[in-house]
Structure 1
């Protein structure tokens, strides 16, 4: 039960991160925000895992950092989409498609064929995407295309992260990856030379909330929660993030969501539930077949 509570709170904090990010990028360049936010967030996590960090081999460090690069690229695209988007909730729903895109990514990169659940959920998610994005005819907004690109990059991170998960403790891996995300942002900041930051009390408050609460604490709770519950339960809980983002963006930012986009978000949410539920059912059936074959 404690693991479920940890993940539930983590989804709320993740949604808070969307709101904080939208407020911060109005006064600070997105790449500078990503750089400072994630480097500081990783340093906050160091006291919880520094002993394990010191025991890592060079190969383990490189593998975690390499995976972190994909997360860094995904978040660079994401923060730019946030800065130009009029609606955060639709972005959150589009980003949640990373879970559906991941099996296709694994197929393309490592020839791991998706299960039947993927092929059933895919047309449902595409229908939701069309409902959400094609309100003005057959034309997607730039922010929607960027959110979709960020989701695809995030799916690469999911797939690569899973391949190294057996060799690293989750918190150690997250700490290294967050630091690399910050470095990617720092390199991009040096390349673009963004405008000066417009400091204010509001900026400081939202930056602290984003860095400490929505990043460090969120990932710490998410890691502890995923350790205590099954993968299926964790996945079901984590898809609450776009729902909380929708509610917060309406209440805090005053976002107005068109009925068609709201319906599209609901269809995407449904596709994720279908995928998770059917994947679990097919995995159990496959395990039963294997056990039956071994006993025969």
Structure 2
């Protein structure tokens, strides 16, 4: 199987794991402080991957660690914004669609900040995504909920993270002080994922220590809290982000990451089954336009697939 097709298939698996993680996280933040949950969840996941991938971690040089930590810090900011959206928002399915806008913004980030060439289909997809976002998020007119602002801001940060994570996972050329260039190998996926998740866990824990009531939470710590933390750490964090990083390592371009926009489809279905959520007609049109943006952005790949099947 070609690397591009393999990466797309793995990213679909990632969207399923991510959708399950949304439900786990929503359940957890209803019974414990959101940033404390994030800190414990990501530190546990990072520790698990560090044990498994210790040999890879030991072989990293300072430059590889720096690249991984930068990606991790950006991701930590995005996840902190996301979990506050989850905590303050009232609609899980809607939040998933808003956050998914981050993958549609990847081409913009890649072009503006990294000079990465983009396909015409990627640019054509953006208007559909923007209109879809407006229909989805502005159900209350021009007075969106606080949680929506957290989700949208997180989307922009995630777009930057996807680009940094792809760059760290792939071979790059480093400009040395003496003017020479040095080819640097990509950071192994399990090592990169472990460091990135550790940064999220550390940042979220520090913010939680300052702003959240740890003592009260620890005094009321329950089996349900422990269960959601462990399940989220293993399924929704360690497995999900390791597979995602590996998929991103299969290509030096960020085009394939746009497939992650499928995530909110699964979230909406799970939210309907788990919480009995529903969407208005306007919101459904918005969701459809965001999904249409995915199809437009992947038009070239879909045409090639249809030719093969024909």
Report the TM-score, using the length of structure 2 for normalisation. Answer: 0.81
| Aligned counterparts of 1:6 and 1:110: Cα–Cα separation in 2 | 25
SS of aligned partner of 2:126: helix
Is 1:79 matched up with 2:83?
yes
- Unmatched runs of 5 consecutive residues or more in structure 2: 171-185, 305-310
What is aligned with 2:173?
none
What is aligned with 1:175?
194
Is 1:23 matched up with 2:27?
yes
Does structure 2 conserve the Cα–Cα contact (< 8 Å) formed by 1:23 and 1:203? no
Moved more, 177-186 or 194-203: 194-203
SS of aligned partner of 2:60: coil
1:108-257 superposed matches below 5 A: 108-112=112-116, 114-166=118-170, 167-195=186-214, 196-197=216-217, 198-223=220-245, 235=257, 238-257=260-279
Evaluate the alpha carbon distance shift between residue 106 and residue 42 of structure 1 in structure 2; reply closer, same or farther with a 3 A threshold: same
Deviation (angstroms), 1:200: 2.9
Moved more, 159-168 or 146-155: 159-168
Deviation (angstroms), 1:128: 0.4
SS of aligned partner of 2:44: helix
Does structure 1 conserve the Cα–Cα contact (< 8 Å) formed by 2:41 and 2:233? yes
Evaluate the alpha carbon distance shift between residue 246 and residue 184 of structure 1 in structure 2; reply closer, same or farther with a 3 A threshold: same
| Aligned counterparts of 1:183 and 1:222: Cα–Cα separation in 2 | 21
CA RMSD of aligned residues (A): 2.8
What is aligned with 2:48?
44
| Aligned counterparts of 1:176 and 1:255: Cα–Cα separation in 2 | 36
SS of aligned partner of 1:252: helix
| Aligned counterparts of 2:96 and 2:212: Cα–Cα separation in 1 | 28
What is aligned with 2:295?
273
| Aligned counterparts of 2:122 and 2:12: Cα–Cα separation in 1 | 25
After TM superposition, the runs of 4+ consecutive aligned structure 1 residues lying more than 6 A away are 227-233, 279-282
What is aligned with 1:14?
18
Report the TM-score, using the length of structure 1 for normalisation. Answer: 0.85
